[in-house]
Amino acid sequence: MSHIIILAVLDGVAYGSLVFLVAVGLTLVFGVMRILNVAHGSFYALGAYAAASLGLGLSALGLSPWLSYPLFVVAAAAVGVVVGGALERFLLQRIYRHEEALQLLVTFAVFMILDNAQRLIWGVQPYFYSEPLRLLGNVAVAGITYTAYQVVFLPLVAIAVLLALRLFLRRTLAGAVIVAVTEDREAATAIGINASRVFLLTFVIGTTLASLGGALAAPTTSILPGMGADMIVLSFAVAATAGLGQIEGAAVAALAIGLGRSFAVFFAPELEVLMPYLIMVLVLLVRPEGLFGKATARKI
């Protein structure tokens, strides 16, 4: 029994790490901009497609597959800056003052457009790029083979991103400015902070993180149309469980959902599909503002 628990924990941590990388971007964007970006899943998919395309390009050119690791970061940043930046600058800036329903509709429309764009560019057949996964080899735990990429590399990246975000938000001027806008946009603007620039920076960071999640998922999964839709639903579940805007909460919620899912596979497979939502519902029943959220008075 104990070795089954070890296996379930390893699988849960690996899955939770990937979910965290995507969901933390969503929760950051909501925390600062108060906008629920339905198109967030599209950035996950675009990151995966971009990473796989660059990786396959590396192979075609006969270059070292180790270069794929820095290329993942390049692919994620390119998608975040170019597509995310353009989306924020030319579309979202026009709807911040409108009601939330319109924001949801607009970002949903963007999601549909980007989904179709992916089909137009990459077609409908699944893409693969598993070379980085092979490079790191396998590890054996309790007699079971795992890929080092999933049980070692991905959790390390998730921890690094969590620490980097904490440092950035709490120890840098840019981070402090973001936190100020998050706390009180009007006051921050009154003391001379350019909120528009903060929004752009935040959105680019959020979408880059989603793209990075997609790029890092690329070696493990089939890249195909519709992959973003599943991830956006899961990311919403993580963000709601954590409390919208909570970075550390997103890590805990992603881990809980990852562990819940893997324990379900081992002990109650029929609950596997439901597990993320069961956890979310249970948390919200007890704490409607999420695990780490703060109850706030609603302005009418």
Partner 1 sequence: MKHGGKLAALAAGLGLSLILSAPAMAQQKPAEIKVGITTFTSGAASVFGVPGKQAAEMLAERINKKGGIQGVPLKLYFIDEGAGAETLTAEYRRLVESEKVDVTMAAISSGNCVNLTPLAEDLKVLNLMWDCGTQRIFEEGEHRYNYRTQANATPEMMAALLYLLKTKPDFKTIAVVNQDYAWGRDSWQLFSAALKKLKPDVQVVAELFPKLGAPDFSAEISRLLAARPDVILSTSWGGDLDTLVRQANQRGLFRMSTFVLPLAESSLQRLAGELPDGVIVGARGDHYFLHPEYKDDADFKSFVEEFKQRTGAYPIYPAFHMAQAFAALEAAYDKAAAANGGAFPDKEKVVDAMDGLKFRGYGRPITIRPDNQGLEAQLIGVTRTTGDHPFPIIDDMMIFDAEAIMAPSGGKSLEWIEGLGAGFIETPAKEYKHGK
- Nearest partner of 280 among 229, 232, 238, judged by Cα: 238
User: CB-wise, 27 or 147, nearer to partner 1?
Assistant: 147
Tell me, residue by residue from 48 to 87, as one string, x for binding to partner 1 by CB under 8 A and - for no binding: ----------------------------------------
12 interacts with partner 1 by CB under 8 A: yes
The size of the interface with partner 1 (CB under 8 A), counted in residues, is: 46
Residue 226 in the binding site for partner 1 (CB under 8 A): yes
Q: Which residues sit opposite 140 in a β-bridge?
A: 145
What x/- string results for residues 13 through 52 when contact with partner 1 is judged by CB under 8 A? -xx--x----------------------------------
* 120 is an interface residue for partner 1 by CB under 8 A: no
DSSP the chain: -HHHHHHHHHHHHHHHHHHHHHHHHHHHHHHHH----TTHHHHHHHHHHHHHHHHHHHHHHT--GGGHHHHHHHHHHHIIIIIIHHHHHHTGGGTTTS-HHHHHHHHHHHHHHHHHHHHHHH-SSPB---HHHHHH-EEEETTEEEEHIIIIIHHHHHHHHHHHHHHHHHHSHHHHHHHHHHH-HHHHHHTT--HHHHHHHHHHHHHHHHHHHHHHHTTTS-B-TTHHHHHHHHHHHHHHHH-TT-HHHHHHHHHHHHHHHHHHHHH-GGGTTTHHHHHHHHHHHH-TT-SS----PPP-
- The reply to whether 225 sits near partner 1 by the rule CB under 8 A is yes
Q: How far is the CB of 48 from partner 1 (least distance, A)?
A: 9
Q: What is the pattern of x (binds partner 1, CB under 8 A) and - over residues 245-264?
A: ----------------xx--
Answer for which of 70, 270, 297, 298 binds partner 1 (CB under 8 A) is 270
Nearer to partner 1 (CB atom), residue 93 or residue 130? 130
Q: Does residue 277 bind partner 1 (CB under 8 A)?
A: no
Residue 5 as a binder of partner 1 (CB under 8 A): the answer is: no
| Backbone torsions φ then ψ of 144, nearest 5 degrees | -110, 135
Binds partner 1 by CB under 8 A, chosen from 37, 53, 103, 220: 220
For residue 125, the tally of other CB atoms under 10 A from its CB is: 9
Binding residues for partner 1 restricted to 126-165, rule: CB under 8 A:
126, 128, 130, 133-134, 138, 144-147, 150
CB of 269 to partner 1, least distance (A): 5
> Which of 21, 25, 28 is closest to 178 using CA atoms?
28
Nearer to partner 1 among residue 74 and residue 265 (C-beta): 265
Residues at the contact surface with partner 1, assessed by CB under 8 A: 3-4, 7-8, 10-12, 14-15, 18, 115-116, 119, 123-126, 128, 130, 133-134, 138, 144-147, 150, 217, 220-222, 224-227, 229-231, 261-262, 265-266, 269-270, 272-273
